[in-house]
């Protein structure tokens, strides 16, 4: 009963805070001349381009959406962890393997934190990495094609949340477990969690030229929950920081039981030390079943390799590599400023924001200024490592970003605002409401040495009255602030896809010159590609039929096929012969249980159709490609299982 009362009290408090927010902030921010001025600053004239790309995670959509900033225009949704009927991703034979895992084919994911690759601590615009929480995976998206080209599963992990942040030269993309779990997994009583579960943190190397990922080692940390992480940079390059919560190691009713300790920890990991230890043969190979899926641009086909083991490192085996920094009250965000000196831990239940100092941390380590230890890992003295605190900044701090000009910006979920404060003096200099209940915020280049400190995007959890009502469901909302001046200015609201937790932004000029316009037909090494209409054909092999088809404005070759039988398995291998920018064709077959296939110029895709009934069944192009797009169609004649209609195909004959 006491527990229930406690919960009710929390709920009432939440409601109260929310309702007073919407009352006082529900009005429009600006009107008249002010609004016109804001409109001008986000206006990108027809035919002009945005200054920045913003890559927004899709949360429960599993995808990554690309927005232009400052306009807030949606440019593309890149399918990553979920099947996407629009693009055929995860439906065609070429990309199905991207969604393979040790649990089989998993067509959905929960994506949270995109991060852009870096060279010398600055964004280089080559790849975007993004994590999947639910069935732990990390994806790499190639920014020449804006397509997902690699997905690696993260074994022994669960709720892959403190992920996927990259080090200064993209040496590693890091993935930390949110849930403590038996590692490797095994059957055991939940109640025996404490001291027996582990919190593996995974370091995945990235090949400097190809981007290919490889799991180098896992650190078998104590069984806390590892919530967020960020790399050290500049002076702290070589270290990685992770916030923890549930250092109580509770396994039930965490909202109460994981809020007992006055302080949890930030884990500071000297990954260079551990890398060296592993290179010298340290660590232990443990069982770990996981899938590694790679899309080959030449064959345009993804393949899966199943792997069986990883190197696991016991934290106490590498003295001097791992420390805990105390941080008040269940921290969420873990953010490192551009200089690499300050580590901001946002205790969700704390009134103050705590900022730790990297140089003080080194000093405390040297002087062995310990407050204790946890599972053999030294806990540093809180005051010895603390740089300062931002006092009473707001309620429910979550995440912090930096503008590169000595300011930090922190989101407060409960008091629903973004608060700007100064590094070094820790004084609050501005605060602006968000509509409503902001989670992450993003400043393009925020996770780097060199933020582009012009705009800030707040990603809000609750939208309510900001747009025309659309039934019980209202899309999540993002808000764009101009942060070039002393005070933040709200310029724009725009709705988003799924639930963007975090986003990563970059100057468009770094990316757009590298963007591919077509796939070159003569570089297409797909095993079923047909590069010329004269090679189009149909082949039968038992009850398997392979249709080698081409598409060009405005016909398919062949467009009439006879001799298909009920019970056949028909593979359509379709090549788009176009070599012009932005001329995809699509293909859809009646009754096929895949999506349509949208095929880019010079590309090949395969889908399977299993005809169930006799008849003459049409197919057509799904993308309006020319004035005669509507004429881009064809027929397949399906006969009875035992019929002897010969296999024939053609185009333009009687
Ligand atoms: Cu704060 Cu998943 Cu980064 Cu959501 S997480 S907000
Ligand atoms: Cu091809 Cu429409």
Residue 437, by phi and psi: left (phi above 0), alpha (psi -120 to 50) or beta?
Answer: left
- For each of the domains in the chain, give its residue range(s) and CATH number, in order of start: 2-512 (2.130.10.10), 521-650 (2.60.40.420)
- Residue 584 alpha carbon, nearest atom of ligand 2: 1
Give the model confidence (pLDDT) of 490-505 as tens digits.
999 999 999 999 999 9
Which candidate, 184, 186, 212, 173, places its Cα nearest to that of 290?
184
pLDDT band at residue 34 using 50, 70 and 90 as cut-offs: confident
Q: What is the pLDDT of residue 653?
A: 74
pLDDT band at residue 20 using 50, 70 and 90 as cut-offs: very low
Mean pLDDT, rounded, for 98-107: 98
Name the β-bridge partners of 198.
Answer: 181, 222
- Rounded distance between C-alpha atoms, residue 54 and residue 36, angstroms: 24
Q: What is the pLDDT of residue 26?
A: 44
Give just the sign of the alpha carbon dihedral 626, 600, 527, 644. Answer: negative
pLDDT band at residue 123 using 50, 70 and 90 as cut-offs: very high
Q: What is the pLDDT of residue 351?
A: 82
φ, ψ at 563 (rounded to 5°): 95, 10
CA-based Rg of the chain, rounded to a whole angstrom?
A: 27
Considering only CA atoms, which residue is closest to atom 5 of ligand 1? 501
Beta-strand pair 301-313/213-222? parallel
Q: What is the pLDDT of residue 31?
A: 67
Give the model confidence (pLDDT) of 319-353 as tens digits.
999 999 999 999 999 999 999 999 999 889 888 99
Beta-strand pair 397-402/386-390? unpaired
- pTM of the prediction? 0.95
Give the model confidence (pLDDT) of 357-397 as tens digits.
999 999 999 999 999 999 999 999 999 999 999 999 999 99
pLDDT band at residue 25 using 50, 70 and 90 as cut-offs: very low
Q: Cα of 161 to ligand 1 centre, how many Å?
A: 8
Q: What is the pLDDT of residue 332?
A: 96
Q: Cα of 279 to ligand 1 centre, how many Å?
A: 34
Residue 570, pLDDT above cutoff 90: yes
Return the HEC string of 455-471: EEEEEECCCHHHCCCEC
Distance of CA 330 to the CA centre of its chain: 24
Q: Which residues line ligand 2 (CB under 6 A)?
A: 554, 585, 621, 623-625, 629, 632
Which candidate, 134, 136, 132, 89, places its Cα nearest to that of 114?
132
pLDDT band at residue 36 using 50, 70 and 90 as cut-offs: confident
Give the model confidence (pLDDT) of 193-242 as tens digits.
999 999 999 999 999 999 999 999 999 999 999 999 999 999 999 999 99
Considering only CA atoms, which residue is closest to atom 1 of ligand 2? 585
Q: What is the pLDDT of residue 651?
A: 96
Q: Which residues line ligand 1 (CB under 6 A)?
A: 112-113, 161, 228, 332, 398-399, 439-440, 501-502
Residue 10, pLDDT above cutoff 90: no
Residue 16, pLDDT above cutoff 90: no
For the ranges 17-26, 256-265, 488-497, 605-614, the lowest mean pLDDT is seen at: 17-26
- Residue 620 alpha carbon, nearest atom of ligand 2: 2
Q: What is the pLDDT of residue 459?
A: 98
Pairs from 98-106 (Cβ < 8 Å, separation ≥ 24): 98/148, 98/151, 98/293, 98/295, 98/302, 99/151, 99/293, 100/291, 100/293, 100/304, 101/135, 101/137, 101/153, 101/290, 101/291, 102/153, 102/155, 102/289, 102/290, 102/291, 102/306, 103/135, 106/135
Question: Which of 56, 61, 109, 112 maximizes ligand 1 atoms within 8 Å of its Cβ, making it the mutation to test the pocket?
Answer: 112
- Residue 626 alpha carbon, nearest atom of ligand 2: 2
Q: Which ligand is nearest to the CA of 503?
A: 1
Q: Which ligand is nearest to the CA of 176?
A: 1
- Residue 622 alpha carbon, nearest atom of ligand 2: 2
Element (H, E) at 277: helix 271-279
Q: Is 22 exposed, middle or buried (0-12, 13-18, 19+ CB in 10 A)?
A: middle
Q: Are the C-beta atoms of 490 and 432 separated by less than 8 Å?
A: yes
Q: Cα of 575 to ligand 2 centre, how many Å?
A: 13
Q: What is the pLDDT of residue 29?
A: 55
Give the model confidence (pLDDT) of 127-156 as tens digits.
999 999 999 999 999 999 999 999 999 999
Q: What is the pLDDT of residue 596?
A: 97
pLDDT band at residue 19 using 50, 70 and 90 as cut-offs: very low
pLDDT band at residue 28 using 50, 70 and 90 as cut-offs: low
For the chain, the average pLDDT equals 94
- Rounded distance between C-alpha atoms, residue 613 and residue 597, angstroms: 22
């Amino acid at each position: 009963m006491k527990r229930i009362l406690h919960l009710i009290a929390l709920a009432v408090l939440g409601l109260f805070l929310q309702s007073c927010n919407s009352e006082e902030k529900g009005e429009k921010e600006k009107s008249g001349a002010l609004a016109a001025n804001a409109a001008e600053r986000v206006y990108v004239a027809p035919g002009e381009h945005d200054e920045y790309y913003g890559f927004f995670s899709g949360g429960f959509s599993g995808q990554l959406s690309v927005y232009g900033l400052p306009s807030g225009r949606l440019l593309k949704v890149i399918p990553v962890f979920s099947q996407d009927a629009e693009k055929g991703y995860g439906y065609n034979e070429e990309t199905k393997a991207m969604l393979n895992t040790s649990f089989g084919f998993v067509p959905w994911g929960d994506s949270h934190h995109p991060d852009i690759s870096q060279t010398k601590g600055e964004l280089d615009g080559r790849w975007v990495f993004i994590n999947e929480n639910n069935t732990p995976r990390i994806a790499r998206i190639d920014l020449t094609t804006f397509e997902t080209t690699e997905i690696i599963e993260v074994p022994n992990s669960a709720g892959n949340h403190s992920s996927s942040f990259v080090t200064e030269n993209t040496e590693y993309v890091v993935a930390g477990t949110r849930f403590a779990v038996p590692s490797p997994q095994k059957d055991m009583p939940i109640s025996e969690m404490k001291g027996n579960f582990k919190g593996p943190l995974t370091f995945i190397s990235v090949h400097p030229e190809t981007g290919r990922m490889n799991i180098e080692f896992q650190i078998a940390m104590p069984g806390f929950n590892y919530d967020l992480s960020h790399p050290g940079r500049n002076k702290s390059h070589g270290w990685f920081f992770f916030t923890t919560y549930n250092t109580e190691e509770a396994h039930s009713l965490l909202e109460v039981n994981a809020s007992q300790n006055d302080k949890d920890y930030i884990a500071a990991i000297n990954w260079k030390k551990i890398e060296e230890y592993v290179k010298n043969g340290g660590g232990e190979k443990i069982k770990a079943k996981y899938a590694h899926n790679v899309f080959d641009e030449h064959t345009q086909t993804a393949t899966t390799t199943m792997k069986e083991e990883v190197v696991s490192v016991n934290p106490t085996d590498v003295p001097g590599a791992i420390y805990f920094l105390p941080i008040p009250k269940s921290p969420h965000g873990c953010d490192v400023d551009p200089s690499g000196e300050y580590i901001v831990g946002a205790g969700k239940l704390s009134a103050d924001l705590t900022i730790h100092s990297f140089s003080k941390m080194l000093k405390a380590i040297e002087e062995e200024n310990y407050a204790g230890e946890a599972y053999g890992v030294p806990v540093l003295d809180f005051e010895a490592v603390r740089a300062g605190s931002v006092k009473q900044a707001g309620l429910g701090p979550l995440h912090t970003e930096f503008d590169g000009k000595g300011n930090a910006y922190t989101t407060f979920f409960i008091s629903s605002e973004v608060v700007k404060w100064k590094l070094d003096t820790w004084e609050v200099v501005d605060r602006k409401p968000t509509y409503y209940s902001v989670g992450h915020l993003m400043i393009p280049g925020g996770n780097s040495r060199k933020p582009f400190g012009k705009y800030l995007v707040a990603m809000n959890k609750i939208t309510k009255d900001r747009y025309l009502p659309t039934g019980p469901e209202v899309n999540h909302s993002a808000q764009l602030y101009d942060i070039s001046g002393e005070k933040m200015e709200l310029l724009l609201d725009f709705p988003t896809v799924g639930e963007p937790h975090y986003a990563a932004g970059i100057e468009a000029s770094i990316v757009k010159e590298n963007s591919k316009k077509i796939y070159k037909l003569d570089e297409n090494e797909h095993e079923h590609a047909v590069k010329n209409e004269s090679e189009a054909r149909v082949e039968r092999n038992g009850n398997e039929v392979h249709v080698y088809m081409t598409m060009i404005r405005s016909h398919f070759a062949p467009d009439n096929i006879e001799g298909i039988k009920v019970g056949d398995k028909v593979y359509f291998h379709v090549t788009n012969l176009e070599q012009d920018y932005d001329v995809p064709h699509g293909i859809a077959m009646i009754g096929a249980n895949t999506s349509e296939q949208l095929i880019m110029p010079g590309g090949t895709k395969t889908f399977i159709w299993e005809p169930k009934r006799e008849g003459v069944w049409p197919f057509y192009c799904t993308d309006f490609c020319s004035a005669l797009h509507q004429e881009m169609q064809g027929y397949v004649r399906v006969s009875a299982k035992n019929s002897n209609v010969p296999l024939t195909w053609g185009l333009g004959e009687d």
